Amino acid sequence: MGLKEEDLRKLPEDGIDPENPGKYRVLLEDLQGNILRGHGRDYSVHLFVEFKPDKTIEVKQWIEDFAKKYLKSAKQQSDEAVNYRQKRISGGLFTNFFLSCKGYEYLEIEPFLIPSDNPFRQGMKNEDIRAVLGDPKIDKWEPGFQQQIHGLILIADDDIIALLQGVNQMMQSLRKVANIVHREDGFILRNQAGQIVEHFGFVDGLSQPIFLKRDVVRSRVQDGGFSQWDSRASLDIILTPDPNGKTEDSYGSYLVYRKLEQNIKAFRKSQEELANALKVKEDLAGALVVGRFYDGTPVTLTDIPTFLHNPTNNFNYDEDLTATKCPFHAHVRKMNPRGDTGKVVSSPGFDEALAVERKHRIARRGVSYGTNNPIQEPEEGSGLLFMCFQADIENQFNFMQTRWANAGGFVQANVGPDPLIGQPEGTQKWPITWGQAKTLQHAFKLWVNMKGGEYFFAPSISFLQNI
């Protein structure tokens, strides 16, 4: 018997347990890995392909062989994680296979069987999409991203030699049916304490919607549970039925991929200038930009970093409704208002019920690219290969980027854009003294530059194995 809609909407309190999956077994066996939980490998290669003209049959055969040989399901990913925890046996090579709308069309899939999400159908190069996201003109994108992209193959491993060998093998067979129009090499960047960071130096990957029992239990043990913020999420925010799946519980997920270059030197200079303008320390200035200190401490809770190895995610902005501690524009507050949009009283037009607000959440799976030397401060060539999964691009990634990050009004009027990713840049209001109402108008320049991207769908394994 297949899952009902309410099974996706209402997860067990403890999340799904892939080690004892019960009614979710078929779903977990047919869903690609990396969606419900990141694959966790240190190194990855992303191959963007355009299938060769008039080779539909050969391409289908290639996809089928690839899916049978390499693709790992959510269930397999979890089994491998258990093996790693108990016996230190590495899961080895991990792969994903994604299709763009143009990819489905190439494969001659009937239009009514192509995943129907609107932005997905239009593609990221579409003029209207570009205009609403505030993205640069296509001729400013990296040449590879300007090409027609049919599919994306993600290959990852902790062992970089094994990864490169695997990639070489795949490229050899792939070249017979496709042109590799672009390649990205990503990695997990860490600080000296071993925490995952992004290139500006802030701890990253702390706050995610969680679906699986192990993550729920971990949050309960490490973070005091969910009293201030419930990071648990139902499957319907991330999964959508795969119209081509071969089982009664075949699901997929939409992937948003964006190459975001970070000008590290210029960002640090702007952070210093902001600190001087406010007469505060640079670490507090950075926290007012991001919403967390570089060590991950939420700035709504304190004006100094705490250097905890596992910074909390069990917090909200209830004690800071006037945003004198964490400004409304701060990246993490805009990207996850934790109830703000329904609570702040003076917010006509910006109010949403918490349940609606929580539906905008995305599962971030991005990795860094470029230099892996944190001492260097390159102005170009380094950044984030931003990736996120969701069930509805319009209501999730696109909503967050346009209605929250880019918007000047957010919860209140004239808040200013998100200083990390808001396009175009603008002026924000910064608290002169942490916790006090007086603010300074200051324009923080945008140092993240979009270099290209695409919308994809992660089809079910049963579709790809029988395409």
285 or 384, CB closer to ligand HEM?
A: 384
From residue 416, give the alpha-carbon distance in Å to each of 9, 327, 411, 445: 34, 10, 11, 12
As a whole number of angstroms, the distance between CA 267 and CA 444 comes to 9
66 or 386, CB closer to ligand HEM?
A: 386
Where residue 191 falls (left for φ over 0; alpha for ψ -120 to 50; beta otherwise) is: beta
Question: Least distance from C-beta 150 to ligand HEM, angstroms?
Answer: 24
As a whole number of angstroms, the distance between CA 403 and CA 140 comes to 24
43 or 389, CB closer to ligand HEM?
A: 389
Question: Least distance from C-beta 370 to ligand HEM, angstroms?
Answer: 11
Question: Least distance from C-beta 362 to ligand HEM, angstroms?
Answer: 6
C-beta atoms surrounding 362 within 10 Å: 23
Helices (H) and strands (E) in the chain, counts: 17, 12
28 or 420, CB closer to ligand HEM?
A: 420
Kindly report whether the peptide bond that precedes residue 424 is cis, defined as omega within 30 degrees of 0: yes
39 or 75, CB closer to ligand HEM?
A: 39
Residue 394 structure tokens:
């319009």
Residue recorded with tokens 């609606």: 356
Question: Least distance from C-beta 357 to ligand HEM, angstroms?
Answer: 11
Question: Which residues lie near ligand HEM (CB under 6 A)?
Answer: 198, 200, 202, 204-207, 260, 262, 290, 292, 331-332, 335-336, 362, 364, 383-384, 386, 397, 400-401, 405, 420-421, 448
Question: Least distance from C-beta 421 to ligand HEM, angstroms?
Answer: 5
Query: What's the one-letter identity of residue 246?
Result: K
Which of 281, 256, 291, 295 is CA-nearest to residue 396?
A: 256
Question: Least distance from C-beta 260 to ligand HEM, angstroms?
Answer: 4
278 or 385, CB closer to ligand HEM?
A: 385
Asked whether 395 and 387 are in contact (CB, 8 A), the reply is: no
Question: Least distance from C-beta 22 to ligand HEM, angstroms?
Answer: 29
65 or 319, CB closer to ligand HEM?
A: 319
39 or 338, CB closer to ligand HEM?
A: 338
178 or 260, CB closer to ligand HEM?
A: 260
107 or 448, CB closer to ligand HEM?
A: 448
Question: Least distance from C-beta 338 to ligand HEM, angstroms?
Answer: 7
Burial 400-428 (b: 16+ CB within 10 A, else e): bbbbbbbbeebbbeebbbbbbbbbebbeb
As a whole number of angstroms, the distance between CA 372 and CA 182 comes to 21
Question: Least distance from C-beta 292 to ligand HEM, angstroms?
Answer: 5
Residues 6+ apart with CB under 8 A from 316: 228, 229, 338, 339
C-beta atoms surrounding 183 within 10 Å: 14
30 or 204, CB closer to ligand HEM?
A: 204
| Three-state SS at 277 | helix
Question: Least distance from C-beta 329 to ligand HEM, angstroms?
Answer: 13
Question: Least distance from C-beta 394 to ligand HEM, angstroms?
Answer: 13
- Dihedral sign of CA atoms 141, 147, 153, 158 in order: negative
201 or 459, CB closer to ligand HEM?
A: 201
Residue 13 structure tokens:
């309190």
Question: Least distance from C-beta 376 to ligand HEM, angstroms?
Answer: 16
DSSP H helical ranges for 254-318: 264-278, 282-290
From the number of C-beta atoms within 10 Å of its C-beta (0-12, 13-18, 19+), residue 332 rates as buried
Asked whether 135 and 423 are in contact (CB, 8 A), the reply is: yes
Residue 281 structure tokens:
């320390």
